[in-house]
Structure formats: structure tokens, C-alpha cells
Chain A
Amino acid sequence: MDFREFLKNNNVILDGATGTELQKAGLQVGELPERWNITHSDVLINLHKAYYDAGANVVSANTFGANILRYNEEELDAVVKAAIDNVKKARDLSTGKQDKFVAVDIGPTGKLLEPYGDLKFEDAVEVFAKTVRLVEKYGADLIFIQTMNDAYETKSAVLAVKENSSLPVFVTNAYNEDSKLMTGATPYSMACMLEGLGVDGIGANCSFGPKDLEDVIEKLLEVSSLPVIFMPNAGMPKSVDGKTVYDVTAKDFASSVARMVSKGVRVAGGCCGTTPKYIELLSALIKDKPVSKVTYKGLTHISSNSKEVRFGSRPLIIGERINPTGKKRFKQALIENDIGYILQEGISQSECGADILDVNVGIPDINETEVLPNTVTRLQEIVDLPLQIDTSNKDAMEKALRIYNGKALINSVNGKKESMEAVFPLAKKYGGAIIALTLDENGIPQTPEGRLEIALKILSEAEKYGIKKEDLIFDTLCMTMSVDPDAGTKTVNALKLIKEKTGCNTSLGISNVSFGLPDRESINAAFLSMALDSGLNAAIMNPFSKPVMEVMCSYNSENGTQEDIEKYQGFIKNIINRTIESNTNGVVAKTLSDAIIRGLKDEAKVKTEELLKTKSALDIINNEVIPALDEVGKGYENKTIYLPQLLLSAEAAKQAFNVIKDSSTVQNSSVKCTFVIATVFGDIHDIGKNIVKLLLENYGFNVIDLGKDVPPKAIVDEVVKTHAPLCGLSALMTTTVPAMEDTIKLLREQAPWCKVVVGGAVLTEEYARKIGADKYAKDAMETVRYSEEIFSKLGK
């Protein structure tokens, strides 16, 4: 029987532990367990057979660690083949009468993915893909991704399965005591992402005994529209008379797991410490239990690594600030690859109460297919809100959705054939809720009925791709009232009608309504209020706009839960605090230079704004900022002030520069020369590098930051491309200094004009000379001084 068919109508019994059983049979520390598939096939066949005999429907091959990081291609092929053969032989030998299936286990790579580790997402996909292709080659009934403790790695494994096999796929994760994965994902966020990716069952395995995992399982049952899988350990390991034993007996284990089956779990088995005995007792208890119906929850939700956000309960705030449209400073940041500015916009919106962040980086001067996914990755490192991927570039959208950690919101699809053909396949493959605009080849219909018609067309087309209506969120598009005074009413009426007829959630970009009109924020606020009354579920809006936020927060606190009221109070407090803070701060620092020396960021900002009214940008830089930086720099060199103070001052100076850049008088006259900076290949430490970058920027260098773990070629290519006279390399580990040496060699060949300055904990003057650097800088200030020296010699 096909496994998916069997799963529809039956509770599924899984096998128990393999690893701990092999240790009992003599597997040594450091020995790779999968080699036993070949060298001890009799042990494996007997174990698998014992599980089938105990009543298991599914027995997993001994392939948990069978991946290309641990085996070469040839051996990997051999161990996977032998592993599958062993289970098939056991299945044929078993006397059990139940339906029997063969699964292949896929465990974690053993490496942590970026940004916390150094395994790249696509490399992880390829590691898993190599194993999956072998499963296809040798045949099995399903693939079982297990014990993953990171959502991102889980996603890479699922994609590898989906792209290389049509077999059913189960996914179980290893949760901690706090019911979260090691990297922070919750059962809700995992369920959201995995359903989006189209797996066949989700659950929890390993970690603890059955009782300690109940909370996770209950949460999964609450949100999942897929069968839930439960595979706990036999409790925790304990040492008794020198032997390792697990503290939950077979009987207790079976009854605890069976109780969760009564609550709705559909697939059950055991992990570490369980034996055929555990499965036999479990099987006896659940064999004849009624099969719970897997109910369709119909949730409209999206997720980040750790946060699941649901539509429908209260209106959500989608922050619109990460978008270059009409924002000169933002465009400039994109062109200059000033990721810090973009990230700050994300953090500020998050602090102001946004639930979701829209991400749009579409300007003609940049390569969106590169910049969009990079921006998404960087934002996900530092903000835990789900993102709305906003682009009309299909390739950029695919790349961003692929590397997105979670289930994204897609902005947008519309009723045009071309749009639906581009967006729906991506949403189906990667998961995602979609903002659907009610316009098509003929434009935006004037009447609510016309917009409804398009919505229905979009719904029926989505269904053909297997996209559920809960994943469509309709935006009835608001035109500006300066052109059509009834625009707002029309939009809201259409919204009401579509909501009523389709039951779908709705969203609106509210700022457009006031385009071309004075006092825009008040108009936006009034429009939002009207839309909320008509049942709007989400607004794409400016979380920094007080009038609009007041409407949103007061609406939520009137209609919402205690949590909403607290959020509103928090927002009000935030606004009040801000005013007070800038008032008191205004008294403290006498001058801009004083504010910088004392590291007072807010004041540096205020003082610069004041100064700009009467002085030129260049005057301010030369007479206030630079002297202050010099004083601090000298203090640092003379050891009268220390690194934290140096940084606070540098950040205050950066605030001043930001204000200057924001002002229309921005001049690039103070820019010195280009400085390419990177942490070398294999090294992921970048605090030191970022400190150097901050100081160099303050001293007027155009710093191109290539990040961490950067291959030599990428660094050299950038130096060649920009003809940079200076390049800074950082390494923290003795093991990564060779990568630094390789980079310097390549620079000498291809960019002989470039001066190379190196730094980092393990380097010394002598070491730097040995690997061919021009300069060893012991700290950030020394890098600045050296760079100024080189700059002053340029052109002479």
C-alpha cells in the first residue's frame, strides 16, 4: 500500500531506538554507526525485525548520520544501500501481520547554519540532497527528517527532499525544556513553516521522556492541519552499576505515549533508550484505538525563525519603512550597500510595535536578485518579526523565499495571468501567504463587485496550484483621494464585500490614500479608522507615524485582549519618553563636539540638526566632529579612555554624519578613499572588524564591508573592481590565518597597488610580516592612522 494512503486512515506505529541499541551491541566511541550496516548487517537486520515483530508499521534505516560530510561519495552510496537492504530483509523476515513500510532517516548535518554557524544554507541543501538521491536510487516508502534542533536546517533538509524525491516526508524536531528548538523556533512557528513547505507529518522526537514533551505535542495539535508525530526518549539516561539506563520504563512509556494518541497524535514511536519491548507495549495499547481525525485548522499565518503571526484576531501592523520609494536617504543607503541603515529601520519599526516588516529594495541601480535575499537574510539575523517580501522581480522573489527562514508573506500577486503564473508556483514550493491585489489586465475596477470578481478569479486560479484560500489576503487597493475623492469609500466597500463573500483576510496599504494632499498623516489615520471598522485585518503603514499608530493602538485596546492594551500603553509610554529624553538631553551637552566626546548619541543628533540651520555640512564636520573624534582617538591611544567609550563616541559621531547625510546639503567632499574590509575565509568573528569599519567611516573613508567568512577571491575581486588603495583583513583564529595569507598572495598578484593592513587576536607584528601584510594594526585607531597616512600619499 502507498504510505500516504495508509496514513489517511490509520494510526502509525514507528520503531524505537537504533543508536542506543547499537551501543549495547558494542558500537565504540567515535565509530560511525552507519558503517555497521555493512560490517554488522546481521545485528541491524535482527534489530529491525524485532521492531516489525513488535508491531511497528514503519522501521527506519540506520542512516541518521549518512551524509556527505561524514562519508565520501562511494561509501555513502554503500552505507545507504546496505541500510535500506537491511530494513527490507527484516520486513520480509518478520512475522508481524500489520502493514509494513521502510523509512530512511535523515538527521542533522552536525554543523550549525549561518548566521550562528558557518554552513551555508545552499550547502546544507546539497548535503541532504546527496542522501535523498540515494534514497530514490535504492527505494523506500518515506523519508524521515529527525532530531533537527534548528528551523533553518530543517527547511534545508525539506527542500532537498522536495527537489529530489516525491516520497512522503515526516519531520520531527528536538525541543528543549522551554518547548523551543535550540535556535529559538516554537512548535507554532515550526508547524507554520513545515505546512507551508508541504510535508506529510510533523512532530517532536528525542530530547526527553514522553511527559516532558507533552506541551510541545499539545501545541502542535492545536495548530497543525497535518498528522502529528510523537517519538520521545525513554526518559533521561542514568548510570546504574556502571551501565547506562533510561529512567522511564516500557510500561510507563507506552501508557504516556498512548495517552497522547488519544488526544490526537497519529504517529507514535520511540527515540533514545527505547527497545522493541517499548514498541511492543505501545503497539498493544494503540493498535485498536480509534483513529483521530486530522482537522483542517484553516489558519492564515506566517512565521519567522521564532515567531508565528496569525491573521484574524486583531489587525496587524505591517511596517512599510524598508522601501526606497520616495526616500532619498534609503536609496543612497542601498546604492552604498549601507546595510546598517536598513537594519536600523527594521529594528526601529519592531520597537514601535510592527508585527510584520515589508522589505522592498527595488531601485534601478542595484541588482535586486542579489540585494533582496541578502537584505532578508541580514534582517532575519537581527529582527524576529516575519517579513513581507515585496518585489515584482520573480527571480528576486524566488531567491528571497528560498533563503527565508520561516513562512513569508508575499507582496504581491494580482489578477493578471502573468502575475499568477509567476507567483503561485513559488508560493506552493516555498510556502507563503500572499497579498492579492484586486486588479488585472483591465486595471482596477471602479465598483466593489468588479474587485470581488477579480478576487474570485484569483482564488480559483490559486486552487489549481493547490494553494488554500487561507493563504490569500486581499488588498482592494486604495487610490489617492486627490484624484478621486471617493477612492477611500470605494476601497473600503470592496474590502467589506470580499471579506463577506470569500471569508478571506484583508490588508491595505493605507498611505497611498493621501498622496498629493496636505497633512497626510491625519488623512491616513482617518482612512485607517474607517477600514478597521470594516474589518481590515492588516495595514501596511508607517509605525513611526503618531496619528496612524494612535488609531491602530486605540482600536486594538478597545477591541483586543489584555496584551493589546499593554502594547498600547507601551506605545504611549514610548512616545512620552522620547519627548522627555530629548528635552533633558538637550541640556546636558554644550556643543556637538561635547556630545561626541561624551558618547551621547541622541544629543549628537539634536545638536547637528541645530547646527545645520546656520552652518554648512563641511563646517560642522571640520570644526565639530573631526576635532572631537581626534580628542577621543588620542585619549584612546594614550590610554586615558578605553574601547567602550571610544565606540560610544564613534557612534555619536555616526549619528551626526547620518543627520548630515539626511539633509539636502549632503556633499561627498569629505570622502577620502575606498577601504575594502573583511573577516577572512573560515572565520566568523566580526566584532573587531565592525569596530574598525565604524571608525574608518567616521574619518571619512568609503568602507566596503564584505562581511565575515569571505573567500580570498571575493575580496580581491572587490579591490580590483573599486581599485581600492587599502584593504583590511581580520582573523581571530590561528587556523584562519592561512586564509589571510592566501588572500594577501592573491592581492599581490591581481591588485599590486593595494596596501594590506591586518589585525585580530592571534596576529603579531612578526606574524603579519611573515604572511606578507603591509601593516599590522593593533587596534582600530592604529588602522585609522595608517589609512590616513596612505591616503595622504595618494596622488603624490
Chain B
Amino acid sequence: MNEIFKVEYTDIPVNYKEIARYAGAKTLDDGLKALIDKCLEEADNAKALKFSICYALEDIKVEEDGVDFGVFKFQSAGLARVLAYSCKALIFASTMGVGIDKLIRRYSAIEPSKALIFQAIGTERIESFLDYFEEQYKKENGVELANRFSPGFGDLSLSYQKEVFVLLKPEKNIGVTLNDSLLMSPSKSVTGIIGIGKKNGNKGCADCSSKNCEFRG
């Protein structure tokens, strides 16, 4: 069995435009920026902007219809395309913890505008932290990485969450649990696979099957 690594980060620069986008605003005006700043400050005071990730490095065998990880195989031509140039991959589970969920819940009942901003912050933060994690990993190991790919993307069934959880034990390592509907708690959690090796085959939104996605570019 491969070893499971654990990393935590705080303090990665904030991308306001992304937060605005996740909150459903196409432009970032001063009023919205002020609201985001207020929420960021509150989240920071509540120590809700911390990121944890646990991951394992696995040998993989890329086949036409999926990727074999030894202990299990993920059926997905989409994943196989993204990992075409890789013979190793990182499997990860990451989370912002319950702090941001507490804020979302708190405001959800009394001030939905702030709940909306907090949930946008949570999404922006975890994606930015993951980007940062990838940059660090590339630097430290002198490798290139393929685009990250998560269960539920394209033709990779969400049910593979179960395998990811068996492998990484995120319940114990970073406090993320999976329910019977394959939903993770805390809500701002992301699992996925990152191939070691150059980027390939991923055309971004154009490659995704969610044709009605509101964020589709």
C-alpha cells in the first residue's frame, strides 16, 4: 500500500473575480467587493479559511476504457484521455473543513446574501488551494501534472467516491465523510485524480458533458 500524505495550507491570495462568478455575478462592482471583503474577514476571524489535503501516489495503467490503479479500476474514457501520458497519479481528498459550512449555515437562515458569498468563497478557496498544491508539488518533485479530474466529471461515475474513500480514509485523515448519496461533508470538499506527466486531451468546458452548466464557458 502506498503511503498517505497530509498537507495543510492557509493564506493563498484571493481571486475576487472567481468569488463573484461563483456567486452568480458576471461583474465585480465596489459594493460586491465590499461584501466579499466583509465575509472574508469574518471567515478569517472564524479560522474558516484553512485547507487540508491527503493524497497517495499510485502506479497506474491507462487503458482505452479506463484507468487501472492496481487495487481497483476506474471505468472512464474521459479519465483515460486525461491520464494518457501518465504512469503514476495522485489520488487526493481535500477540504475546507466545517468552519466555512458553519458560516454558510448561520447566514443561510438569516441573511442569504451572505450565505451565497460564503459558499462562493468556499468554492474559490478550495480550487485556489488545489491549484497552489499542484504548483508546489510540481516544484518540489520536478514534474508536470495533468488536469485534475474528479468522480462525477464527464463519464467518471460519482460512485468511485467509494473507492477513493477506501484508499485514503479521509474520515480519519482530514475529517471528510461520504454519505449514501455520495455527497461529502463538509460541503467544501473535493476528491480527484491528478496524473503525473504532461497535460493532455482536456479541452476544459468543451470536453464536459454538462451542457447546461451555468459556468460553462
Q: A residues near B, CB below 8 A?
A: 23, 28-30, 108, 110-112, 115-119, 147, 149, 178, 182-184, 237, 239, 244, 339-340, 343-344, 347, 378, 381-383, 599, 639, 642-645, 647-648, 650-651, 682-687, 690-691, 694, 733-736, 761, 764
Contact = CB atoms under 8 A, between A and B. Distances in A.
A149 B172 CA distance: 9
A28 B116 contact: no
26 contacts: A28-B1, A28-B71, A30-B167, A112-B185, A116-B102, A116-B105, A147-B172, A237-B4, A244-B3, A340-B109, A340-B110, A382-B106, A642-B25, A643-B23, A644-B116, A647-B112, A648-B35, A686-B108, A687-B104, A687-B115, A690-B108, A690-B112, A690-B115, A734-B152, A734-B158, A735-B158
A651 B24 CA distance: 17
Given A29-B1, A639-B26, A644-B35, A112 B177 contact: yes
A644 B177 contact: no
Contacts, number: 138
Contacts of B117: 644
A28 B102 CA distance: 36
The list of the 5 closest CB pairs from A to B, nearest first, reads: A643-B24, A642-B25, A647-B113, A117-B185, A682-B181
Interface string B81-111: 0000000000000000111011011101111
Interface residues of B, number: 50
Nearest to B104: A687
Given A643-B24, A687-B108, 10 more contacts: A29-B1, A116-B98, A117-B185, A182-B97, A347-B110, A639-B26, A644-B25, A651-B111, A683-B183, A687-B112
B116 A382 contact: no
Contacts of A30: 71, 166-167
B186 interface: yes
A683 B24 contact: no
A380 to B, nearest CB: 10
A686 B116 CA distance: 11
B182 interface: yes
B107 to A, nearest CB: 8
Given A28-B1, A244-B3, A644 B109 contact: no
Contacts of A347: 106, 110
Contacts of A183: 98
Nearest to B57: A239
Contacts of B116: 643-644, 647, 687, 691
B156 interface: no
Contacts of A149: 175
Contacts of B112: 647, 650-651, 687, 690-691, 694
B147 interface: no
B187 A685 contact: yes
Contacts of B1: 23, 28-29
Contact of B179 (A115, A147, A682): A682
Contacts of B185: 112, 116-118, 684
Given A112-B177, A347-B110, A684 B105 contact: no
Nearest to A339: B109
Interface in B39-97: 47, 71, 97
Most central of B112, B116, B172, B187 by chain A CB within 10 Å: B112
B27 interface: yes
A383 B181 CA distance: 28
Nearest to A27: B1
Given A29-B1, A382-B109, A687-B112, A110 B177 contact: yes
B167 A29 contact: yes
Contacts of A733: 158, 181-183
A119 B116 CA distance: 24
A317 B154 CA distance: 55
Interface string B25-36: 111000110010
A735 B3 CA distance: 31
Interface in B125-163: 152, 158
B171 interface: yes
Contacts of B111: 651
B108 A644 contact: no
A683 B181 contact: yes
B110 A381 contact: no
B11 interface: no
Given A29-B1, A684-B185, A687-B119, A118 B179 contact: yes
Contacts of A112: 175, 177, 185-186
Given A117-B179, A118-B185, A237-B3, A110 B171 contact: yes
Contacts of A28: 1, 71
Given A110-B171, A382-B109, A684 B187 contact: yes
B179 A343 contact: no
A112 B3 CA distance: 25
A316 B43 CA distance: 27
A276 B47 CA distance: 39
Contact of B181 (A119, A339, A735): A735
Contacts of A735: 158, 181-183
A642 B31 CA distance: 12
A362 to B, nearest CB: 22
A616 B17 CA distance: 43
A333 to B, nearest CB: 13
Contacts of B186: 112, 116
Nearest to B161: A735
Contacts of A378: 109
Contacts of A178: 47
Nearest to A341: B110
A510 B87 CA distance: 73
Contact of B32 (A644, A682, A683): A644
B65 to A, nearest CB: 21
A382 B110 CA distance: 10
A184 B98 contact: yes
Nearest to A115: B105
Contacts of A118: 179, 183, 185
Contacts of A648: 35, 113
Nearest to A641: B25
A441 to B, nearest CB: 43
B114 to A, nearest CB: 9
A642 B101 CA distance: 23
Contacts of B158: 733-735
Contact of A182 (B32, B98, B110, B115): B98
Contacts of A110: 171, 177
B20 to A, nearest CB: 8
